[in-house]
Amino acid sequence: MTAPFNLPPAFAIQCPQCEDQALDEQHPSCPDCGFGLQNEGRIVLLEHAPSEEDYSVDGAGAQEEVRHSHFWFTMRNHFIIDLLSKVQNGKRGDRFVEFGSSNGLVMSKLEEQGWSVLGNDMHLSGLCNALPIVAGPLICAPLEKVRFVDPVEAVGFFDVIEHLDDDYGALEHAVEQLKPGGYLAVTVPAFQELWSQFDLILGHKRRYSIEQLDELFKRLSLQTVTLRYAFFFSYPIVRLQRKLIKGDSLSLEQRRKYYRPPHPVINTLLESLCRIELMLVKIGFRPPFGTSVMGLARKEAAGE
Interface stretch with Zn ion, choices 12-20, 47-55, 84-92, 138-146 (CB under 5 A): 12-20
Instruction: Please identify, using beta-carbon distances, which residue of 29 and 254 lies nearer to Zn ion.
Output: 29
The DSSP 8-state label assigned to residue 133 in this structure reads T
Per-residue burial over 165-175, b = 16 or more CB atoms within 10 Å of its CB, e = otherwise:
eebeebbebbb
The one among 4, 9, 18, 272 contacting Zn ion by CB under 5 A = 18
The one among 3, 12, 22, 33 contacting Zn ion by CB under 5 A = 33
Name residues contacting Zn ion, limited to 218-257 (CB under 5 A). none
Q: 136 Cβ partners below 8 Å, 6+ apart?
A: 6, 107, 111, 116, 117, 118, 119
Q: Does 17 bind Zn ion (CB under 5 A)?
A: yes
Q: Does 35 bind Zn ion (CB under 5 A)?
A: yes
- Long-range contacts at 69-72 (CB < 8 A, ≥ 24 apart): 69/261, 69/267, 70/259, 70/260, 70/261, 70/267, 71/261, 71/262, 71/267, 71/268, 71/270, 71/271, 71/274, 72/231, 72/234
Instruction: Please identify, using beta-carbon distances, which residue of 32 and 54 lies nearer to Zn ion.
Output: 32
Is residue 230 within 8 Å of residue 290, measured between CB atoms? Answer: yes
Q: Does 14 bind Zn ion (CB under 5 A)?
A: no
Instruction: Please identify, using beta-carbon distances, which residue of 37 and 178 lies nearer to Zn ion.
Output: 37
Q: Does 32 bind Zn ion (CB under 5 A)?
A: yes
Q: 121 Cβ partners below 8 Å, 6+ apart?
A: 99, 100, 101, 102, 127, 138, 140
Smallest separation (angstroms) from Zn ion to the CB of 35: 5
From first CA to last CA, the distance across the chain in angstroms is 45
Instruction: Please identify, using beta-carbon distances, which residue of 12 and 220 lies nearer to Zn ion.
Output: 12
Q: Does 81 bind Zn ion (CB under 5 A)?
A: no
Q: Does 38 bind Zn ion (CB under 5 A)?
A: no
Instruction: Please identify, using beta-carbon distances, which residue of 4 and 31 lies nearer to Zn ion.
Output: 31
Instruction: Please identify, using beta-carbon distances, which residue of 35 and 55 lies nearer to Zn ion.
Output: 35
The one among 5, 7, 11, 30 contacting Zn ion by CB under 5 A = 30
3-state SS, residue 16: coil
Sign of CA dihedral 177, 292, 135, 102: positive
The one among 7, 13, 15, 213 contacting Zn ion by CB under 5 A = 15
Interface stretch with Zn ion, choices 9-17, 110-118, 199-207, 215-223 (CB under 5 A): 9-17
Question: How many amino acids of this chain bind Zn ion (CB under 5 A)?
Answer: 8
Interface stretch with Zn ion, choices 13-21, 69-77, 163-171, 220-228 (CB under 5 A): 13-21
**Alpha helices of 67-189 — where are they, by DSSP H?**
71-84, 105-112, 124-130, 167-176
Instruction: Please identify, using beta-carbon distances, which residue of 15 and 75 lies nearer to Zn ion.
Output: 15
* CB count in 10 Å sphere of residue 101: 29
- Interface with Zn ion (CB under 5 A): 15, 17-18, 21, 30, 32-33, 35
